[in-house]
């Protein structure tokens, strides 16, 4: 767990340093100041409103003990085991088996599951998945992923419009270097953001296994979701691919970019790590 946090801290420092460097390189001192102000405003907005925005994107409907006792009571029992406040519980009417957590802190968290995952997984497997999502809440991964996503987005926007920032400062580089930064900085930011997302998934797998007390249940659920999700598109995720990192398994059907450009670690590696917890 400490190793995951150390790696995440290094990656977060890297993306923030890249943000400042891009601002200074393509806009000089004035560009860097504008970048910091813009990025700060984006992070404040994301901190307070991103959860509501994502739930609205997925047309998630909130449920309670009366409307969905099976899921609600399961989350309540797991939240008690994790010593967390009871989060809001949502169901998304999508056939693909998937789930995510959102919210700025444990006191203002929500977990969401698709109708597909509730039909496809056994009760034991679904407990493993919801424990994984509660581990994200407990580790405050949602805040980390939100900040990394907004800073990465700010870097891309800054790179696109950076040539218009400021005047001709003596510390502003030549045109060729600016063009190189415009092309490479968004790519570097995306790579770092996705590395952060992959690192936090491993941490949530471990934390979720501890909450549920059944690592094999989450491993079985991941294997089943990996097998079925590729053939069942999730329409909301396809429309908003920037939210893919939130899901427990990659919801996007596109097959090209894997590995370095994946928001999720290899499902086979995740399963192997969970199985090894059982053997210890």
Q: d(Cα 194, Cα 187) in Å, to the nearest integer?
A: 11
Q: d(Cα 158, Cα 179) in Å, to the nearest integer?
A: 12
Q: For residue 201, say whether it is annotated as part of any ligand binding site.
A: yes
Task: Give catalytic status of residue 133 as yes or no.
Answer: yes
CB within 8 Å of 239: residues ≥ 6 apart: 57
- Rounded to a whole number of angstroms, the distance between the first and last alpha carbons of the chain is 16
The residue annotated as part of the active site, out of 65, 123, 125, 133, is: 133
Q: For residue 264, say whether it is annotated as part of any ligand binding site.
A: no
| Residues designated catalytic | 133
Known binding positions: 132, 136, 201
Q: Binding site for Zn(2+): what residues are annotated?
A: 132, 136, 201
């Amino acid at each position: 767990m400490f190793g995951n946090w150390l790696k995440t801290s290094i990656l977060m420092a890297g993306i923030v340093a890249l943000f400042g460097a891009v601002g200074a390189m393509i806009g000089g001192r004035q560009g860097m100041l504008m970048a910091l102000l813009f990025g700060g405003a984006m992070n404040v907005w994301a901190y307070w409103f991103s959860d509501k925005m994502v739930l609205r994107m997925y047309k998630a409907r909130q449920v309670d003990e009366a409307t969905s006792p099976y899921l609600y009571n399961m989350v309540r029992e797991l939240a008690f085991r994790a010593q967390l406040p009871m989060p809001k519980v949502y169901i998304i009417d999508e056939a693909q088996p998937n789930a995510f957590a959102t919210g700025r802190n444990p006191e203002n968290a929500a977990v969401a599951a698709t109708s597909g995952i509730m039909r496809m997984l056994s009760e034991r497997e679904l407990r493993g998945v919801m424990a994984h999502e509660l581990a994200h809440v407990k580790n405050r991964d949602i805040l980390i992923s939100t900040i990394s996503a907004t800073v990465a987005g700010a870097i891309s926007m800054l790179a696109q419009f950076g040539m218009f920032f400021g005047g001709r400062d003596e510390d502003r580089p030549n045109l060729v270097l600016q063009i190189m930064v415009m092309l490479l900085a968004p790519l570097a930011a995306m790579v770092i953001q996705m590395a952060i997302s992959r690192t936090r998934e491993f941490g949530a797998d471990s934390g979720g296994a501890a909450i549920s007390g059944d690592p094999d249940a989450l491993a079985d659920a991941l294997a089943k979701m990996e097998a079925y999700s590729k053939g069942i598109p999730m329409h909301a995720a396809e429309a908003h691919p920037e939210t893919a990192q939130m899901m427990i398994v990659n919801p996007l059907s596109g097959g090209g970019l894997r590995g370095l450009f994946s928001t999720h670690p290899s499902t086979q590696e995740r399963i192997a790590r969970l199985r090894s917890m059982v053997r210890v």
